Each structure stands twice: as C-alpha cells, then as structure tokens.
Amino acid sequence: MANFTFPLRSFAQTYATRYLLFTGLRLRWYIRASGDLLARHWQWFLIAGLIVPGPPIVGLFFLPALVLEAVISHQPDLLWQLVGILAVQLTALLWIIPQRRLYSGGGFMDYASTLPLSKSLCLGVDLTLLIVADTLAIVPAFIATAHALATQSPDRVFRVCALWVLLGSACVVQMVALERRAIAFLSIALADVALGSSLVLPVGGLRLPLLALALAGTIAGLLIRGPAKRFNPMSLTFMNIRRTSSIARVLGHYSPPFLIQCKALAARPGPAVLRLNTAIVLALAVDRLIAIFNFDSRSLPTVILALAAISLILSGVYRTLRDAHAPMQAYLGALPISPRYWLTRDTAFVLLLGVAPLCILLWPLVAHDLSPLFVLFVLAAAFQALLALQRLPLTFGERNAVLYRFILAASWSVAAMAATPR
C-alpha cells in the first residue's frame, strides 16, 4: 500500500506545483496586460454603487442577484425559462469577449503549447482564470444562493443546485466561445433545455434526472475538444485586413500621426466602438429626454450632466492611445520630436471625438432657444476643457485615475450648473 500511495502523492504534488506555477504565470500576465483591469472593474462597480439609489455599494449586487433568482424560479413556460438561461449566458459571453486577448495568455502560450502540459492541467488553469475574470459575478451568485436558501420553499436546495449549474454553464459558454469549439455548443444547448425543463416541472418527477442531465451536458461542453483552436489575435477578421486601404494611404500621406491614432483605436475595436457608440447613444437619449421634459428648465442641467458623463466615457481613449504609444517610446525618443508630441496630438484627437456628441446635445438647446448662444458657446468650450483635463488623472492618478476622473467630471458639472443662468 505504501508503495502504491507514494507515487500518487508525488504525482499530486507535481501536479499541484505545475498548476500553481502555470496559474501564477497566466494570472500575472492577465493582470499586467489588462492594466489591472480587475481592480478597475471593482473601482467602477463601487463608484456606480455609490450613485445608484438603494443601499450604498452593495446595492448594485442585489440587482443581478434578483435576476439570477428570477431565472431559477418556477416558470410555467419553458420558452421564458430558456430565454432567462440564454440571457445569463449571453451576458457572461459579452463580459468575457472583450477580455479574450488577456485570457489567451499572449505570445507566451505559443511557447507553452510546446511544453508537455496535460490537458487537465490546462483546463484547470483556464477555468481558474475565467473565475478570476468573473469575480464580480460571484458576489451576486452568493447573495442569490443565500436568498434562495433563506426561503421556506420545499425545493430551495434544488433551486440552489440549479443556480450553480446555470452559473457553471455560463462559465463553460465563455470558455467554449473563447476557444471557438462550436461543437461544444450542441452539448450546452442540450444542457440548457434540460435545465429549463427541470425548472418548469413541478416538485418531484423528472426534475432531478433533468438537472443531472443539465450538469452532464455542461461538463461534456467543458470536455468536448473537437478541432480546438485557441484564440489567436491574428485570426480575427478585422485583423486579417493586412493591406492598407486607400483612405489610410491618403491619411498616411497627409497626416501620419492622425492615421496612427485612428489605427490605435481600430486595433482595439471593442472598447473604441463601445465608447464612441455609448457617447453618441447617450447624447441622443438625452435629446429625447429633454424633448420629454418639453424643453423646460430641466433641459440645461440634464445636458450638463450628459456632457460630464460623455467626458468620462471618452477619457478612456487617452489610455488606449497611451498604451499604443508605449512600446514605441524608445524609437520615438530618438526622433526629433517634442516630448509633448503625443500629449498635444492625443488631446486634440479626443477633443475631436467629443465634437459629435457635443453637437448632438447642444443642437436642441439652440433650436429651441433655451439659452443664449454665448452661454452655449462657453459651455462647449468648458466641455472641451474638461475633456482635455481628463487626461491628467491618467498621467498623475495611477491606480486612482478613475476616481479622479469621476471627481473631476462631478466638480465640473456642479460648477457648470452654478455658472449657467436659467
């Protein structure tokens, strides 16, 4: 017996050491490459938690917890149950897709793939990384679990099990999408139907076997490899456009720095498109809101708040541009350019991005003569100044940059409201 257990223990120790080493490396890369993304997620969430009505900070966790509880609650209609399950999985997918580059492990994984790492070890490390990336979702999951257990419902344990199967399936959906294992989606679809059916059925009967089937389908989704293909940034369609377009050629001829800035944004299309679209959509939504207000005295303060929010949204572009310039700093340092070369150009670029939402927001005020033109002109100039100032927290704020940006935007909106006559 002793002869048998010794190699087993040795194997376990080796496995644990490898797991810890590999996980440590992947996590360090994830944190470094993302610029402390995890910390920023929590920072944003806590700031949002202070603003949203309800209990401070933790209030925001209750909303997703309620949604999770609603999804696992008894519904008579299977279709609605499936819609709920798919909504949770889709949210998980939308959360992880922008992080795919970080999850991929970078260029190091090309080297790691040549090492004799077992599939189970890789799977364990991948899952650990996903759980780290999803830490924000863990708190609502525990709140939902506690709520479900606190009820007097006879099937509360079953509901909690269903909740964790649902969360597990969401995690597997993320992994399957990131690794582009289309065949595994069949297994997850089967698991979804089984889970939905188990939640629709009354107490007893086939509920437990169906839940077990859902769990089996989820685990199968995790294990079905098929023609696996790890995410490769080079394989994205937009990245495959390697040839320069004629627009880029013209821009490159007349304004090479502007082309570089545009391409820096295009290199990270997810965050860039999200920021620009959010700014435009917010401006359009506020236009609609002040129309609902019938262009009364609430219009101008609403526009000011929207401008402050847009400055927060667009200020993220500074980070994108700075990150793009960083690897080239050594080479740029040897060129005859001022140390403030990119500082001034990047600021001008962000100011340019702010023009479209600014025009959308100010147009109704001009059209309905809500404020003197001079006041609107000063407001526009002040917004551009705010956008320029939003660069400072990135330079000096370090870890608290988001907080400083928020304070800056809040202070600006208070000052603007106080200064504008109504």
Partner 1 sequence: MNSDILLRFDGLAASYGRHAIFRSASLALGAGVYALQGPNGIGKSTLLRLLAGAQVADAGEVWIDGISLMQASEEAKQHLSYVPDESPIYPFMTGNELLQFVASIKRAKIGGNVHALIGEFELSAHLDTRFDAISLGIQKKMMLCAAWIGAPRVLLLDEPSNGLDQAARTSLARLLGTSSQNGTVLFTAHDADFVATTEASVIAMQDIFEPKEMNSPERGT
List interacting residues with partner 1 (CB under 8 A). 234, 242-244, 248-249, 252-253, 256-257, 259-260, 263-264, 266-267, 324, 327-331, 333-338
| Shortest spacing between CB 270 and partner 1, in angstroms | 15
Which residue has 């409201």 as its token pair? Answer: 417
| Shortest spacing between CB 69 and partner 1, in angstroms | 45
SS3 content of the chain, % helix, strand, coil (to 5): 80, 0, 20
Closer to partner 1 by Cβ: residue 52 or 241: 241
Task: Report the b/e string of 278-291 with b at 16+ CB within 10 A.
Answer: bbeebbeebbeebe
| Shortest spacing between CB 233 and partner 1, in angstroms | 9
Closer to partner 1 by Cβ: residue 9 or 253: 253
Q: What is the DSSP letter of 99?
A: G
Using CA atoms, how far residue 216 sits from 85, 159, 174, 177, 188, in Å, is 16, 17, 17, 19, 9
How open is the CA angle 369-371-372, to the nearest 5 degrees?
95
| Shortest spacing between CB 325 and partner 1, in angstroms | 8
User: CB atoms < 10 A from the CB of 253, how many?
Assistant: 9
| Shortest spacing between CB 240 and partner 1, in angstroms | 9
| Shortest spacing between CB 100 and partner 1, in angstroms | 17
Q: From CA 395, how far away is CA 393, in angstroms rounded?
A: 5
Closer to partner 1 by Cβ: residue 7 or 333: 333
Q: From CA 184, how far away is CA 397, in angstroms rounded?
A: 44
Closer to partner 1 by Cβ: residue 169 or 261: 261
| Shortest spacing between CB 293 and partner 1, in angstroms | 44
| Shortest spacing between CB 129 and partner 1, in angstroms | 24
Q: What is the dihedral of CA 63, 309, 307, 293, to 10 degrees?
A: 10
| Shortest spacing between CB 267 and partner 1, in angstroms | 5
| Shortest spacing between CB 347 and partner 1, in angstroms | 19
Q: Can you spell out the DSSP letters for 196-261?
A: HHHHHSPSSTTHHHHHHHHHHHHHHHHH--SS-----GGGSHHHH--SPPHHHHHHHHH-HHHHHH
Closer to partner 1 by Cβ: residue 331 or 374: 331
Q: From CA 294, how far away is CA 169, in angstroms rounded?
A: 47
Exposed / middle / buried, residue 154 (Cβ in 10 Å: 0-12, 13-18, 19+): exposed
Closer to partner 1 by Cβ: residue 22 or 29: 29
Closer to partner 1 by Cβ: residue 207 or 345: 345
Phi/psi at 138 (5° precision): -70, -35
Q: Can you spell out the DSSP letters for 123-188?
A: HHHHHHHHHHHTHHHHHHHHHHHHHHHHS--TTHHHHHHHHHHHHHHHHHHHHHHHTT-TTHHHHH
Q: How many CA atoms lie within 13 A of 355 on its CB side?
A: 6
Closer to partner 1 by Cβ: residue 8 or 335: 335
Closer to partner 1 by Cβ: residue 245 or 294: 245
Which are the contacts of 43, defined by CB distance < 8 A and separation ≥ 6?
Answer: 402, 403
Closer to partner 1 by Cβ: residue 173 or 324: 324
